[in-house]
Structure 1
């Protein structure tokens, strides 16, 4: 695992990072596990590059992908004493080159490291996407690092090369490029643009209106050269000569390459930056918002130059946070839990943009926008923020407030007139334009409960009651809706909308009860708490929501034929805030009952989320794990281990999909049919809802980093 001694050695080794190699160079070692996909450059919804796990063994010729599955061209080559080695993403046909051999692959919460043997030298590729949740400047910079380090070269001449192409712009054959080297400190900067792109336009979830950035600076011991041209010619130039021609005129279909000549060296490293810049990043109610960083660095050149100069500080921060997260996760729930959280962190933060107004660049006016990645692209969906909130609660509670601000400020305009809370503030990212026509994906109880519980979470973590009081009239409006509609539910959708609408959903009624109690405690309004407690009393003590044997909560509450099916159940994850905040809406025996029941529904690869479906959810089962007390934590560990097995079973390659098949559907692949693959992913990829994996760690307290 990641060692604390690296921190003390940091000054001597910066920026070199060297792994201890496996004794068997023909078989790679995967630390802590081989995941479905490795995060490479994951910073926001439009800068999100991954390497499928099933390609990593052949890393020198593997193909990275945008989160949605589009191939990205990103190559890394190195010369050792005149011999060219393919390290990453290079074509198999590169004449006269050899493939390096992968020896170690490792991920932490902010780094993906790959170590390769290349003749006399060992190279480490460090794909580093900072997670700096309390440093809004650093977190908002839309760039990611690739550091290539060499060791053991026995004073051979070393040259290192990398290139990208227009696949990063979302277009083929419709891209223009520019090159600039007129900056201080030797910055070489390529920028690629889509010709005639419309503002805020996308294609297959890749942004079109911004600019792809590829840059580097020479080190004190390297000479940096640049070239644009056909992939074959630029790579051949480097392979033959170890440098580039300096011809930087870009044409459609070209690559843009940067090469460092390190001369004779045994140990050294160079760093590249890749990014995607959008000056107008978000359309909020018709006004543009931009990245927080632009208040200090208003153009791509100054921003990426600062980003490269900030490497040492960002790297030091990452070593501390990586080690601390691993240590806390292992201590809380074991190494399997740690493996999950380390793979979760970049994905959760990579779904968000930290913004300020584009006109004033006022850094006191912060809003964070979260994309409902993969499912439908909505903006600041409350039932995406809600399941993700444990990671914000643990690492950056202010994120909760800043994600709610765009919603609450929209409400204050009076343009949303429904008595219940809105589902999202924009049908598709980055257009946060509200729903003035009142047409959206209504989830009345779901979202009314979510917004209250999120506000409560923020205040609990920060003690900033003044913020909640500023919007108290809005929270009161939605609490009043829950009073009348929380235990008398007409047919409606809940967060797992793919399951379809139902009336009298027990999980929703539980949410209403806890949210009303939270509202009452937040604003010292005892009547609301009493109403919430009365809901809980009916559902549990009086048995309204229970099966006749009182072993579990039914999918739907009620005693008539329609709602009386004892075999129907739901994983009632909505009880989790009651435990997290010690609200005591439900008695402790509720949670003991659930902890005893869930294992009885364990299938071949997990507990299905409810009796209607054959799939499970990584984040909701982590919520259920956190709400499953026991002297030996057996049910908690059951849920965690189900997610870990899914993450490591080798059947999946998408960026941490949060939904997988837990039991056999009809005609499933495991039985020779064409249906579900047990242990395989069902849907979705790269969604920020995986922040819910932090639910168990959140029980240890807020703001832990």
Structure 2
């Protein structure tokens, strides 16, 4: 998790669019010599009055269409922002033109985005916003009719083909609020901003109406494979589609297309073929539906938005060769339009599956608390939205669905591929939803290092410096976190094996695992001056938390060797500095793996201590700063669950207070690094490490 890159771009409106026995006493000494931290109780930031209700709370940003690193649309909130009070934004904060109107008895209302330059429309009035693990729902009043707008980004952990589809739904339905009959038409469009990070580049597009579907497909005229501009991929196509029944369509300049609907309640079924720069008269791609005259709740008008490309990942294999890998779903479809059509026709079933998934998550997490259930619900789409499931091709060009690798973008901190210390905090999400996803994340790292191309004796930090290029580090000059990453790989590998009884990873890669363990044995006793996953805090010698990770990692190898029928290995450790303190979140791995290496007295002392340094937004990461990490706090809550439910809940409440702190400084998809005195984000946004918020569920 390397260097800080604070992606705090402002969202602007646009007018036109081991056994370790002898070491335990050292831990006791460390805990008993902790110094007091003078941390004042911080008040929860006041929430500005909003005219609508929020359930379970107003997050910093509401997920709208979040399915991949490149399909990631959010509604920034600050102190509370209605669906028609801001443009939807990419995770970086840049605008994604996405607009919506509804006409009721000939009168037009805006329900989505900030479309300007159009006459004859007024804003619908938002009544409520709510979110679950897969859905965000807004209800707005458009005169005598209430409009329900539901954004569904399916989470399909057990179906790799469906989970790999980079598409999302928006469903819009209407119901009279006065008991009378009303004529209702619904419209939405996207702009060409969805295909690039540089709006001066030229886009082209096509519109088709076939097989019961209206489909707009938009792409850059000149594409650059595997390359990004401002974190947008410069490759592939954006798609916007809906059913053809009762639908009209139009492409063209934003104000022209939108004015057509506002004035007439339908579109002209025409196409603008003047291909041009994205910012040149802002081309948009609209679809309108006539819901007819309604006397009660209508069936929804269902729209699909997406961004797909092929190939998806550039991946280094043995001998330095480079392989192009495809998203899994391409194995089932001959074209992007066929994939979109299948996704569109699957809406009712997808909604049912999503509701079942949401209910299970809510039920499981609510066993801890309602605050915890809300935090988990907000985190799941963000964790999954940083990943892509891929497959390779056979020599004959057919897809090899037995070769499944998942890739994760280290969103916002520096864009690395499969960063080990970003996978590790997200690990509970995969253990809870489907451990096979975790295996698919680890396999690229194992395959690469087993090929002999990485020269260091410890685990590599990541699979590539710039997503989606998983090209390794044959020079060995990846960011050096030797103890951190080696311990992470051992812990994750064993936890996967324990959850699934699948021995394939430890059987295939035993020599690599042993190599990393030998490094830990030499390095974990007294950790050298090095950085940990929290690299923004700087390097430090003798880090207790790193030593804990090393010890647990060594003990993990003992269990791995036992499972393989080999001799168990162990190692002692000690510590240097007992005048500082920090969140010992790496003890979570001891609980996760069921070792109980550390005596209960250690957890009891920690539970007591953390209460003395708690603020309303949680506990600082360590002595040096007032900031903290949300993922590590929930790890700590989980490891203390059997010690003190009160302290567990204290940590959950702190993170919940931060995630629900409605102030204008926080408008990003959850930033996991924040200040405990102010509740304001320090940096990072939309990172998959929020999968760590599922730490209690993974236990």
Aligned to 1:8: none
CA deviation map 1:49-68 (0-9, x unaligned): 00012385442242111000
CA shift in 2, pair 1:611/1:124, >3 Å = same
CA deviation map 1:483-534 (0-9, x unaligned): 11111322211111111122221111111111111111122189985524x3
Asked if structure 2 preserves the Cα contact closer than 8 Å seen for 1:181 and 1:189, the reply is yes
Q: CA deviation at 1:169?
A: 1.4
Aligned to 2:42: none
CA–CA distance in structure 2, aligned partners of residues 431 and 630 of structure 1: 42
CA–CA distance in structure 2, aligned partners of residues 160 and 191 of structure 1: 20
Asked if structure 1 preserves the Cα contact closer than 8 Å seen for 2:209 and 2:215, the reply is no
1:274 to 2:309 alignment: no
CA deviation map 1:300-321 (0-9, x unaligned): 1001001101111111011111
1:683 to 2:662 alignment: no
Q: How does 1:529-678 map to 2 (within 5 A)?
A: 531-532=570-571, 534-535=572-573, 539=574, 557-558=575-576, 563-564=577-578, 566=579, 568-603=580-615, 605-629=617-641, 632-651=644-663, 652-663=666-677, 678=678
Aligned to 1:235: 258
Asked if structure 2 preserves the Cα contact closer than 8 Å seen for 1:388 and 1:692, the reply is yes
Q: How does 1:477-516 map to 2 (within 5 A)?
A: 477-516=515-554
Specify which of 319, 332, 335 is matched with residue 299 of structure 1.
Answer: 335
Q: Secondary structure at the match of 1:363?
A: strand
Asked if structure 2 preserves the Cα contact closer than 8 Å seen for 1:76 and 1:163, the reply is yes
Asked if structure 2 preserves the Cα contact closer than 8 Å seen for 1:37 and 1:654, the reply is yes
Q: Secondary structure at the match of 2:67?
A: strand
CA–CA distance in structure 1, aligned partners of residues 640 and 567 of structure 2: 27
Aligned to 2:354: 318
CA shift in 2, pair 1:182/1:648, >3 Å = closer
CA shift in 2, pair 1:295/1:654, >3 Å = same
Q: CA deviation at 1:596?
A: 1.3
Q: CA deviation at 1:629?
A: 4.1
Specify which of 424, 431, 434 is matched with residue 393 of structure 1.
Answer: 431
Aligned to 1:671: none
Q: CA deviation at 1:179?
A: 2.2
CA deviation map 1:351-410 (0-9, x unaligned): 100111155421111000001101010000000011110111111101111001111111
Cα RMSD of the aligned pairs, angstroms, is 1.8
1:213 to 2:236 alignment: no
Aligned to 1:165: 191
1:412 to 2:440 alignment: no
Asked if structure 2 preserves the Cα contact closer than 8 Å seen for 1:595 and 1:629, the reply is no
Asked if structure 1 preserves the Cα contact closer than 8 Å seen for 2:224 and 2:234, the reply is yes
Q: How does 1:61-72 map to 2 (within 5 A)?
A: 61-72=85-96
Aligned to 2:159: 135
CA deviation map 1:654-685 (0-9, x unaligned): 1011011013xxxxxxxxxxxxxx11000100
Q: Which moved more, 1:153-162 or 1:487-496?
A: 153-162
Aligned to 1:520: 558
Q: Which moved more, 1:278-287 or 1:49-58?
A: 49-58
CA–CA distance in structure 1, aligned partners of residues 554 and 109 of structure 2: 63
Specify which of 360, 363, 382 is matched with residue 347 of structure 1.
Answer: 382
Aligned to 2:319: none
Asked if structure 2 preserves the Cα contact closer than 8 Å seen for 1:26 and 1:101, the reply is no
CA–CA distance in structure 2, aligned partners of residues 357 and 608 of structure 1: 44
Q: Secondary structure at the match of 2:473?
A: coil
Aligned to 2:8: none
Q: CA deviation at 1:247?
A: 1.3
Asked if structure 2 preserves the Cα contact closer than 8 Å seen for 1:100 and 1:117, the reply is yes
Aligned to 1:16: none
Asked if structure 2 preserves the Cα contact closer than 8 Å seen for 1:110 and 1:131, the reply is yes
Aligned to 2:23: none
1:245 to 2:268 alignment: yes
Aligned to 1:259: 288
CA–CA distance in structure 2, aligned partners of residues 55 and 353 of structure 1: 32
Asked if structure 2 preserves the Cα contact closer than 8 Å seen for 1:518 and 1:529, the reply is no
Q: Secondary structure at the match of 2:83?
A: helix
Count of matched residue positions in the alignment of Structure 1 and Structure 2? 629
Asked if structure 1 preserves the Cα contact closer than 8 Å seen for 2:634 and 2:695, the reply is yes
Q: Runs of 5+ in structure 1 lacking a partner?
A: 1-24, 540-556, 664-677, 700-705
CA shift in 2, pair 1:165/1:61, >3 Å = same
CA deviation map 1:325-367 (0-9, x unaligned): 1111111x21111110000010000010011115542111100
Asked if structure 2 preserves the Cα contact closer than 8 Å seen for 1:61 and 1:91, the reply is no
Specify which of 194, 197, 208 is matched with residue 181 of structure 1.
Answer: 208
Q: CA deviation at 1:254?
A: 0.9
Aligned to 2:366: 330
Q: Secondary structure at the match of 1:695?
A: helix
Q: CA deviation at 1:129?
A: 0.3
Q: Secondary structure at the match of 2:472?
A: coil
CA–CA distance in structure 2, aligned partners of residues 644 and 312 of structure 1: 32
CA deviation map 1:264-312 (0-9, x unaligned): 2232211111111111111111211111000001321001001101111
CA–CA distance in structure 2, aligned partners of residues 491 and 187 of structure 1: 60
CA shift in 2, pair 1:76/1:195, >3 Å = same
Q: Secondary structure at the match of 2:570?
A: helix
Alignment TM-score, normalising by the size of structure 1:
0.87
Q: How does 1:141-160 map to 2 (within 5 A)?
A: 141-152=165-176, 154-160=180-186
Asked if structure 2 preserves the Cα contact closer than 8 Å seen for 1:289 and 1:355, the reply is yes
Q: Secondary structure at the match of 2:401?
A: coil
Asked if structure 2 preserves the Cα contact closer than 8 Å seen for 1:175 and 1:192, the reply is no
CA deviation map 1:7-48 (0-9, x unaligned): xxxxxxxxxxxxxxxxxx993110111111100000010110
Aligned to 2:133: 109
Aligned to 1:308: 344
Asked if structure 2 preserves the Cα contact closer than 8 Å seen for 1:459 and 1:465, the reply is yes
Q: CA deviation at 1:181?
A: 2.2
Q: Secondary structure at the match of 2:403?
A: coil
Aligned to 2:219: 193
Aligned to 2:500: 462
Q: CA deviation at 1:477?
A: 0.9
CA–CA distance in structure 2, aligned partners of residues 653 and 404 of structure 1: 32
Q: CA deviation at 1:94?
A: 2.5
CA–CA distance in structure 1, aligned partners of residues 365 and 230 of structure 2: 35
Asked if structure 1 preserves the Cα contact closer than 8 Å seen for 2:386 and 2:687, the reply is yes
CA–CA distance in structure 1, aligned partners of residues 85 and 591 of structure 2: 49
CA–CA distance in structure 2, aligned partners of residues 338 and 208 of structure 1: 37
Aligned to 2:62: 38
Q: Runs of 5+ in structure 2 lacking a partner?
A: 1-48, 277-281, 317-321
Asked if structure 2 preserves the Cα contact closer than 8 Å seen for 1:375 and 1:684, the reply is yes
